[in-house]
Amino acid sequence: MRIQKELYEKYPKLFSAVGTREFVGCTIGPGWFPLVDVLCKLIQNEVDFANEQKKYGNSAGMEQVVVGQIKEKFGGLRFYTNKGGSTQIAGMIQMAEAMSWLICEECGTTKNVKTGGSGRIVTLCNRCRRRMAICNWFSYMMWLVKSRLMAIFGKRK
């Protein structure tokens, strides 16, 4: 998807594993991309700063962080890294993951956002939750019609 590609291109060092087995994927909704964008920016800054300071002997330097997977689990953001990191970076990730509970994964609003749902637990605002319910109902009806038709026409062959 385009939104993912933009993120990978913006932070090539963080996403150097994209296209390899080491990278599982980025499967979050569009509403969380600004949050993940800021997180990536802060992580890359942290790595770059440590390595810049190394030149002056002020830091031991830092291994480049490589992202392994970005996903949603139980309505919250999960940001996994394969390589690199520090206590500070772990704290940044923790902060972003905690913030995701307050942001609609679909539209990015912080108004009327709730984590929950019957079936899959998701973090959505009231509007997106209603819209998703209608979409789910519609695709269920489509599936029902299709399977009925398959049953009828499938037998004739």
Residue ranges in contact with Zn ion by CB under 5 A: 104, 106-107, 125, 128
Return the percent helix, strand and coil in the chain, to nearest 5.
Answer: 50, 15, 30
Residue 109 beta carbon to Zn ion: minimum distance, rounded to whole angstroms: 5
Residue 122 beta carbon to Zn ion: minimum distance, rounded to whole angstroms: 10
Residue 152 beta carbon to Zn ion: minimum distance, rounded to whole angstroms: 39
Give whichever of 30 and 68 is closer to Zn ion, judged by the CB atom.
30
Give whichever of 67 and 104 is closer to Zn ion, judged by the CB atom.
104
Buried b (16+ CB within 10 A) or exposed e, 3-26: ebeebbeebeebbbbbeeeebeeb
CB 51 within 8 A of CB 58: no
Give whichever of 13 and 131 is closer to Zn ion, judged by the CB atom.
131
CB 84 within 8 A of CB 66: yes
Give whichever of 71 and 127 is closer to Zn ion, judged by the CB atom.
127
CB 99 within 8 A of CB 54: no
Residue 145 beta carbon to Zn ion: minimum distance, rounded to whole angstroms: 29
